[in-house]
Chains A and B, each alone.
Chain A
């Protein structure tokens, strides 16, 4: 499939669906974000499995992050992450200056309060991808001005 339109429309519709079931009083907003995130998680797991099947073993955590920023992001969003920062203590910040799922919405502060809906799935996507690469993490996203956004990844140290 050469086209990205079907995914974008589907993504919008998924968000619509999840939030509509909330309007009926079934769930509150936090649960919705979690639902979207979980869907993304599963998709991320599947994608990374397909994507890494021919790649060499990763050297370390940073190497994995670089892979996510370059290859994974390019495959999913047709561009690389614009900026990767880390404090070398398990926190990484990935900045995308023109995030594809927001770029159709607005280029400013309008609709800012809607933005989290459009990021939850992707947070899950990243978390799922990392999880299948053996990195347990918490991924959150923040937006100050659309369509730029930052994903913060906190690595969970495994307790074994």
Chain B
């Protein structure tokens, strides 16, 4: 009988459920993680066909070598001032993250997410873009705002959901938005920004504009259907978009294996769609800058989209609601073979002779002070939990352009309740 499978003499099928190499308490050994030699990667012309540059999706573009020197064809040859600005921006971002994380711990706000260890993937990338290019970030690219000069006090106002919060207390902390700085409103729904960025880029192309779009998601989010839709659309319409995948190894408690990392790289996803794909040392700010610059030039000259995988490590907890000691070895961060992006750039600048340990110490103090000032300034506008900072009417505004009758009625109800719940 054709469908009698009892005599096929097969061992039973087994389901493979990925497991990270190290769990809490385990000794970490990264010796099997292949770290390519800096400077070894070829830099193809921006007009190269995706099929002719597949190797770069499996390689690792690196510029800073073990002696902290910038080497190889991907060296963007940035001047000292640009590099110092990059260093200072990343340092400021880290100081901001540390302080705002503590503000949450002190109960001044409900939530925070740091980007510790991943500063290069937003700061260096944003520096390689034009200010007019549209960024579609996930929730861990606050570095873009630092590059584009968003005032820290406005960020803290949003985090505190206070009366000066430009988003009127409607959004969870860190879900920033700025049309002025071309920073698209951050959504809690993962990867929705991916097809949106492609659509924005398609619009720019259809209008004969010169602006391009850049979008970010984590490696975990690449499993979402929107990721597939976005890459398909980007390829089909040759959209001028840079699609960044920040592979920080962890999606909350799930290691990258649950997004498919056991079999291939995330950059290789682009290869299957016929999209140029680069895999980059995400802790090497010069490599991130160079890759973004390459992809931006490609997009701006009508040569289509690029996928960039930034290979990095989420050095801290997923969020203030997360405790990574419950699922991963604390040693991972210390042993991470690509080090720390700020330290690496610092050493490079010291090696260049334009920076010193003392200057770095002074910078760190300066950054901490600047955040303190911003937090203090923002706190004058109130902190979450201390009173009701927004008029209740604002809860009903902007659902639609004009408030329909049913929201008007509900707004009146809320106002009435206010008098009862919080008599003045």
The answer on A and B forming one complex is no
